[in-house]
């Protein structure tokens, strides 16, 4: 009984330490050999309220998506076979541990201890058939970042991880077999 309990604890620890898993959808009913070109869109990129740093950040994201699409053999086009779209949904979360402090024993009030801020979010990338308006593939990944400087790097690495789940080269119905 003790061995079983030990193995359960070890499995739970491994699961909590594992990196977030990419959630994906792949439409198996489509002919992937007809997809050769793409166009990247982000519907919020025309928003003029972004700072120059924000626009540079979105440019980096778009460059990472372009690099992944080109690495799979797709070519950018104005009238593409696929529409590539991305979205980043994020929020800043503050976690505080508080303790009850009552030096005289009359009143209780809380003093915040160890306030930590981190960014949580989701990166979503999808490919749609432009003519049929059908979802071809979609991948997303949950993010958690604790330092401001590492947010950009985390998102760029996440984009690469998401694209690892897209199993087709341009113009081919043969699935790419991952060697991981």
Kindly report the number of other CB atoms within 10 A of residue 172's CB atom: 15
- 119 or 163, greater pLDDT: 163
Q: Is the sign of the CA dihedral 180, 20, 156, 75 positive or negative?
A: positive
Checking if the pLDDT of 52 tops 90, the result is no
For 30-34, 42-46, 122-126, which range has the lowest pLDDT when averaged over its residues?
42-46
- Name the pTM for this structure: 0.71
CATH assignment, 20-163: 3.30.160.670
Nearest-angstrom CA–CA distance, 139 and 74: 18
Give domain limits for the chain: 20-163
Task: Please provide residue 12's backbone torsions phi and psi, each rounded to the nearest 5 degrees.
Answer: -65, -40
**More confidently predicted of 32 and 43:** 32
DSSP designation for 175: B
């Amino acid at each position: 009984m003790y061995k079983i309990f030990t193995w359960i604890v070890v499995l739970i620890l491994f699961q909590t330490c594992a990196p977030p898993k990419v959630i994906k959808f792949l439409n198996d009913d489509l002919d992937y050999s007809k997809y050769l070109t793409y166009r990247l869109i982000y519907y919020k990129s025309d928003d003029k309220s972004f700072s120059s740093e924000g626009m540079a950040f979105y440019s980096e994201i778009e460059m990472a998506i372009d690099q992944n699409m080109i690495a799979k053999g797709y070519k950018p086009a104005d009238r593409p076979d696929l529409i590539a779209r991305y979205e980043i949904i994020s929020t800043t979360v503050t976690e505080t541990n508080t303790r009850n402090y009552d030096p005289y024993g009359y009143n209780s009030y809380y003093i915040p201890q160890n306030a930590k801020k981190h960014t949580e979010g989701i990166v979503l990338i999808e490919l749609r058939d432009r003519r049929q308006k059908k979802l071809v593939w979609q991948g997303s990944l949950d993010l958690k970042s604790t330092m401001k400087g590492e947010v950009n790097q985390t998102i760029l690495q996440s984009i690469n991880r998401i694209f690892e789940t897209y199993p087709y080269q341009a113009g081919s119905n043969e699935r790419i077999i991952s060697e991981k």
